[in-house]
């Protein structure tokens, strides 16, 4: 009886040993398949133990013509969380809500919705960062990241633009020269230990490429004076806004460009995007009489006219052929120049006599066509107006007709 029990026990041990050997053989075969045949296993193992860290470069500085910094980058603290390492989500959210002045339920919902990594608050104050470190909450930490700062606040804001939360230039020079200012990021391989801590071993790229600096032709002192004068003019006239442009006539350098309304690029998250545009560059405006200066300058440069040439502009009034079916009278008045139509009348002649090209009508010259009514919509091409040599209007007639 005893010998029979021993034989049964021996058989059971042999069967268990064979099953264990088969199980180990199956596991070894599967491991060999994953590591040799199927590359996904090797990739998954590599991803769990190693990763590539991307370190952002330092963004370049924007300076004025004398080297004064208009836009710089500083290190600002931000609070992050790894929810998979947080045991008490509600308690952690309640503690952080007291620091940030936020709702605990909203923070808890964010922590439950992101299992890996998320920023809880970007660019917090040093006091808030200190309080978070003092709490020593599991899965919550503070890191420093670059933040764009504009020391002079509203000064030349439309020219500079701003950088958003992801370090991308928006508006102005920050957007136009974003690639040059941003530079190239540095990438470092790192290994993760059993506790999830990163061990940086070295860099694949030996040097990181920092962003380049940009020097403007703007003079900060002259820009401040222009903005101050524009503020006074807008307040005095009750205007909705204004633009002041100052240039060096010898080189064409832009020395100052003041605009109102302005904005503070340091607080871009509180602003309406449309309110940050540069009206001097993006808005269309009629040049008006200021264009005459450039026209005369171009004529002088090409030698078409001389500096001592004089022109008879007929004392602001000149004559031209009227329409066959009507007599048109246009009168202009303006405190600075005769360029604004104040009256336009049209009267049908009493008889239907053949139209005489020699018959003329007096008219102010500058911009009568801009606002005349339909009754005076067809006139002949007008000439430049100015007083004649004797102070009387010139009698020169221009018979070349054109539709205004």
Residues with a known catalytic role: 289
Kindly give, in sequence order, each residue whose CB lies less than 8 Å from that of residue 94, ignoring residues fewer than 6 positions away.
104
Distance CA 172, CA 294 (A): 27
DSSP state of 152: T
* 8 A C-beta contact, residue 371 and residue 316: no
Q: Assign residue 304 a region: left if phi > 0, alpha if psi is -120 to 50, beta otherwise?
A: alpha
Say what the alpha-carbon torsion angle 212, 216, 222, 228 is, to the nearest 10 degrees: -70
Distance CA 339, CA 319 (A): 16
3-state SS, one letter per residue, for 158-171: HHHCEECCCCCEEC
* 8 A C-beta contact, residue 65 and residue 218: yes
* 8 A C-beta contact, residue 38 and residue 24: no
End-to-end CA distance of the chain: 129
Peptide bond into 261 cis (omega under 30): yes
Question: Which stretch of DSSP H or E encloses residue 320?
Answer: strand 317-321
Q: How far is CA 270 from CA 55, 264, 266, 267, in A?
A: 28, 10, 9, 6
Give buried/exposed letters for 131-150 (b at 16+ CB in 10 A, else e): bbeeeebebbbbeeebbbeb
């Amino acid at each position: 009886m005893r010998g029979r029990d021993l034989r049964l026990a021996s058989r059971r041990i042999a069967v268990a040993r064979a099953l264990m050997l088969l199980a180990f053989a199956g596991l070894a075969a599967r491991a060999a398949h994953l590591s040799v045949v199927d590359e996904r296993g090797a990739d998954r193992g590599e991803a769990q133990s190693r990763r590539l860290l991307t370190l952002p470069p330092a963004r370049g500085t924007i300076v004025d013509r004398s080297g004064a910094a208009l836009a710089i980058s500083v290190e600002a603290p931000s609070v992050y969380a790894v929810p998979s390492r947080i045991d008490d989500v509600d308690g952690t959210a309640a503690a952080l809500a007291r620091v940030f002045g936020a709702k605990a339920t909203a923070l808890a919902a964010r922590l439950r919705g992101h299992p890996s990594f998320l920023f809880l608050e970007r660019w917090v104050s040093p006091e808030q960062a200190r309080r978070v470190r003092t709490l020593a909450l599991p899965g919550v930490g503070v890191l420093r990241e670059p933040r764009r700062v504009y020391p002079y606040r509203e000064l030349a804001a439309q020219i500079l633009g701003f950088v958003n939360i992801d370090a991308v230039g928006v508006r102005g020079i920050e957007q136009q020269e974003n690639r040059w200012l941003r530079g190239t990021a540095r990438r470092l391989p790192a290994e993760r230990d059993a506790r999830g801590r990163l061990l940086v071993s070295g860099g694949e790229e030996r040097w990181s490429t920092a962003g380049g600096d940009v020097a403007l032709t703007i003079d900060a002192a002259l820009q401040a004076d222009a903005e101050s004068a524009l503020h006074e003019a807008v307040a005095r006239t009750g205007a909705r806004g204004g633009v002041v442009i100052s240039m060096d006539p010898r080189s064409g350098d832009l020395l100052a460009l003041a605009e109102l309304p302005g904005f503070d690029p340091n607080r871009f998250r509180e602003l309406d995007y449309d309110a940050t545009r540069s009206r001097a560059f993006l808005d269309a405006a009629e040049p008006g009489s200021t264009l005459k200066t450039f026209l005369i300058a171009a004529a002088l440069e090409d030698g078409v006219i001389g500096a001592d040439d004089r022109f008879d502009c007929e004392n602001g009034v000149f004559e031209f052929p009227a329409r066959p079916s009507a007599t048109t009278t246009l009168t202009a008045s303006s405190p600075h120049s005769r360029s604004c139509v104040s009256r336009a009348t049209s009267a049908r002649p009493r008889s239907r006599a053949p139209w005489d090209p020699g018959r003329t009508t007096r008219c102010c010259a500058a911009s009568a066509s801009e606002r005349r009514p339909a009754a005076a919509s067809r006139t002949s091409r007008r000439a430049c107006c100015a007083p004649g040599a004797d102070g009387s209007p010139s009698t020169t007639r221009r018979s070349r007709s054109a539709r205004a």
